[in-house]
Structure 1
Amino acid sequence: MAENDFNLKNSSEYLHLSFDETFNVLKSSKSGLSEEEAERRINLFGKNDVLEKKENLLKLFLGYFWGPMAWLMESAIILTVFINHYLEAVLILILLITNAIISFIHNRNSKNAVELLKSKLSIKVSTLRDGKYEKINSADLVPGDIVAVGLGDIIPADLKIIDGELTVDQSSLTGESLEIDKNAGEIVFSGSSVKRGESTCIVLNVGLQTYFGKTIQLVKVAKPKSHQQEVVFLLVKYMFYFSLIVAFVVCVYAIYIQESLIGILTFIVILLMGAVPFALPTVLTILQSVGATELIKNNILVTRLNSIEDASSVDILFLDKTGTITENKLSVSQIIPFGKWSKKDVLLFSALTSARASKDTIDEAIMSEIEKEKISLDGYKQISIIPFDQETKKSESTISDGHEEFKIIKAAPQVALELATGITEDKKNNFSKKIEELSQNGYRSLGILKSSGDNFVIVGLIALSDPPRKDAPEMFQKIKSLGVTPIILTGDNIFITREIAKILGLNSEIILMSDLKKLSEKDQVKLLENAGGVAEVLPEDKYDLVKLMQSNGHSVGMTGDGVNDAPALKQAEMGIAVANSTDVAKSAASMVLVEDGISVIVNAISISRKIYQRVLTWVLNKLSKTVRLLGTLAIAFFITKDIVISVLGTAFLVFANDFVSISLATDNVSPTSYPDKWDIKKISIVSFLIGAPFILEHLFALFVGEKYFGIISLAQIQTFMLLTLIFTSQLKVNILRERRHFWNSFPGKALFYLTVSTMIIFAFMGVYGIFMAKISISAVLFSLIFATIFTFFIDFFKYWLFVRYKI
Structure 2
Amino acid sequence: MSAKIKSASDFRQLSIGETFKILEASILGLTESEAKNRIERFGYNEIAEEKKNPFVEFFSRYWGPMPWLLELAVALSCMLGHYVEALIIFVLLTINVSIGFTHSRHTRKVLEFLKKRLAIKAKVFREGKWVVKDAEEIVPGDIILVGLGDLVPADAKIVSGELSVDQSALTGESLPVNLHPSDIVYSSSIVMQGEARCVVVNTGANTYFGRTAELVKVAKPKSHQEKMMMTITKYMMYFGLAALMLTSAYALLLNMGILSILTFAVIFLMGAIPVALPAVLTIVQAVGAMELAKKGVLVTRLDSIEDAASIDIVCLDKTGTITQNKLSVVEVIPFSEYKKEDVALIAALASEEESKDMIDLTVINYAKSLGVNLDSYRRISFTPFNPSIKRSEAIVESDGVRFKVVKGAPQMIISLCKKAGAVCQEGKVILDELSQKGYRTLAVAKSGNNDFENIQLVGFLALADPIRPDSKTMIEEIKRLGIKPIMLTGDNISIAKEIARQASIGDRIVPIAELKALNETDKAKVVEAYDGFAEVYPEDKYEIVNLLQSNGHMVGMTGDGVNDAPALKQAEMGIAVSNSTDVAKASASMVLTEKGMNVIVNAIKISRQIYQRMLTWVINKVTKVIQFVALLTIGLFWLRDIILSFLGMTLLIFANDFATMSLATDNVKHTNNPNKWNLKNVTLASLLVGALMAIGGILALAIGKTHFHLKWEKLQTFTMLTLVFYSQFRVYIVRERGHFWSSKPGKELTISIIATLIVFTLLGIYGIIIPPISPYQVLFALGFSAVFTIGIVDPFKYLVFKKFQL
Whether these two folds match at TM > 0.5 is: yes
Aligned mates of 2:115, 2:647 — CA distance in 1: 47
Aligned mates of 1:237, 1:72 — CA distance in 2: 18
Structure-1 residue corresponding to 2:675:
676
* 1:206-245 superposed matches below 5 A: 206-213=203-210, 215-222=212-219, 225-245=222-242
Structure-2 residue corresponding to 1:753:
751
Deviations 1:525-549 (A, max 9, x none): 4534343222222222223333333
Aligned mates of 2:420, 2:352 — CA distance in 1: 29
Structure-2 residue corresponding to 1:472:
471
Deviations 1:280-306 (A, max 9, x none): 466334313311221222232222122
Aligned mates of 1:345, 1:492 — CA distance in 2: 25
* TM-score, normalised with respect to structure 2: 0.92
Q: Is 1:458 matched with 2:457?
A: yes
Aligned mates of 2:772, 2:43 — CA distance in 1: 71
Structure-2 residue corresponding to 1:766:
764
Deviations 1:93-125 (A, max 9, x none): 445443433233233233334434644554433
SS in 2 for 1:327: coil
Aligned mates of 2:700, 2:49 — CA distance in 1: 60
Compared with structure 1, are the counterparts of its residues 264 and 192 closer, same or farther at alpha carbon in structure 2 (3 Å cutoff)? Answer: same
* 1:303-318 superposed matches below 5 A: 303-318=300-315
Compared with structure 1, are the counterparts of its residues 806 and 92 closer, same or farther at alpha carbon in structure 2 (3 Å cutoff)? Answer: farther
Deviation of the 1:49 alpha carbon: 4.0
* Contact map agreement 1:313 1:677 (CA 8 A) in 2: yes
Structure-2 residue corresponding to 1:445:
441
Aligned mates of 1:23, 1:266 — CA distance in 2: 74
Q: Is 1:622 matched with 2:621?
A: yes
Structure-1 residue corresponding to 2:317:
320
* Contact map agreement 1:438 1:463 (CA 8 A) in 2: yes
Aligned mates of 2:210, 2:638 — CA distance in 1: 72
Deviation of the 1:645 alpha carbon: 3.1
Deviations 1:268-327 (A, max 9, x none): 223212213365466334313311221222232222122123322122222222333333
Deviations 1:740-785 (A, max 9, x none): 1111222222322332332333333333444444433333333333
Structure-2 residue corresponding to 1:659:
658
Amino acid in the other structure paired with 2:158:
I
Aligned mates of 2:264, 2:517 — CA distance in 1: 66
Aligned mates of 1:617, 1:214 — CA distance in 2: 39
Aligned mates of 1:757, 1:363 — CA distance in 2: 62
* Contact map agreement 2:481 2:674 (CA 8 A) in 1: yes
SS in 2 for 1:619: helix
Amino acid in the other structure paired with 1:394:
R
Deviations 1:369-409 (A, max 9, x none): 11221201233222223222222222332232224322222
Q: 1:406 aligns with which of 395, 403, 408?
A: 403
Deviation of the 1:212 alpha carbon: 4.1
Amino acid in the other structure paired with 1:775:
I
* Contact map agreement 2:392 2:406 (CA 8 A) in 1: yes
* TM-score, normalised with respect to structure 1: 0.92
Structure-2 residue corresponding to 1:590:
589
Aligned mates of 2:211, 2:296 — CA distance in 1: 29
Compared with structure 1, are the counterparts of its residues 64 and 178 closer, same or farther at alpha carbon in structure 2 (3 Å cutoff)? Answer: farther
Q: Is 1:381 matched with 2:378?
A: yes
Structure-2 residue corresponding to 1:494:
493
Q: Is 1:183 matched with 2:184?
A: no
SS in 1 for 2:563: helix
Gaps of 5+ in 2: none
Q: 1:787 aligns with which of 785, 792, 798?
A: 785
SS in 1 for 2:355: coil
Q: Is 1:152 matched with 2:132?
A: no
Q: How many equivalent residue pairs?
A: 802
Deviations 1:592-625 (A, max 9, x none): 2222223222222222222221121121112112
Deviations 1:411-453 (A, max 9, x none): 32112222223333x5444221111122222222122222235
Structure-2 residue corresponding to 1:632:
631
Structure-2 residue corresponding to 1:531:
530
Deviation of the 1:474 alpha carbon: 2.4
* Contact map agreement 1:88 1:648 (CA 8 A) in 2: yes
Q: 1:720 aligns with which of 695, 718, 721?
A: 718
Aligned mates of 2:526, 2:66 — CA distance in 1: 47
Structure-1 residue corresponding to 2:729:
731
SS in 2 for 1:148: strand
Q: Which moved more, 1:692-701 or 1:614-623?
A: 692-701
* 1:559-574 superposed matches below 5 A: 559-574=558-573
Deviation of the 1:356 alpha carbon: 5.7
Compared with structure 1, are the counterparts of its residues 616 and 130 closer, same or farther at alpha carbon in structure 2 (3 Å cutoff)? Answer: closer
Aligned mates of 1:403, 1:708 — CA distance in 2: 109
Aligned mates of 2:32, 2:387 — CA distance in 1: 37
* Contact map agreement 1:152 1:562 (CA 8 A) in 2: yes
* Contact map agreement 2:165 2:178 (CA 8 A) in 1: yes
Compared with structure 1, are the counterparts of its residues 146 and 648 closer, same or farther at alpha carbon in structure 2 (3 Å cutoff)? Answer: closer
* Contact map agreement 1:314 1:555 (CA 8 A) in 2: yes
* Contact map agreement 2:282 2:302 (CA 8 A) in 1: no
Gaps of 5+ in 1: none
Deviation of the 1:17 alpha carbon: 4.6
Aligned mates of 1:553, 1:79 — CA distance in 2: 53
Compared with structure 1, are the counterparts of its residues 80 and 271 closer, same or farther at alpha carbon in structure 2 (3 Å cutoff)? Answer: farther
Amino acid in the other structure paired with 1:488:
M
Aligned mates of 2:75, 2:533 — CA distance in 1: 62
Deviation of the 1:167 alpha carbon: 0.5
Structure-2 residue corresponding to 1:273:
270
Structure-1 residue corresponding to 2:420:
423
Amino acid in the other structure paired with 1:724:
T
Aligned mates of 1:177, 1:141 — CA distance in 2: 28
* Contact map agreement 2:236 2:274 (CA 8 A) in 1: no
Deviation of the 1:805 alpha carbon: 1.0
SS in 2 for 1:660: helix
SS in 1 for 2:354: coil
* Contact map agreement 1:167 1:197 (CA 8 A) in 2: yes
* Contact map agreement 2:644 2:719 (CA 8 A) in 1: yes
Aligned mates of 1:347, 1:180 — CA distance in 2: 35
Structure-2 residue corresponding to 1:540:
539
Q: Is 1:164 matched with 2:148?
A: no
Deviation of the 1:235 alpha carbon: 1.4
* Contact map agreement 2:286 2:302 (CA 8 A) in 1: no
Q: Percent identity?
A: 49
Moved over 6 A (4+): none
SS in 1 for 2:356: coil
* Contact map agreement 2:487 2:505 (CA 8 A) in 1: no
SS in 1 for 2:182: coil
Amino acid in the other structure paired with 1:146:
I
Alignment RMSD (CA, Å): 2.9
Q: 1:264 aligns with which of 261, 268, 289?
A: 261
Q: Is 1:343 matched with 2:364?
A: no
Structure-2 residue corresponding to 1:516:
515
Deviation of the 1:181 alpha carbon: 0.7
Aligned mates of 1:580, 1:355 — CA distance in 2: 18
* Contact map agreement 2:423 2:457 (CA 8 A) in 1: no
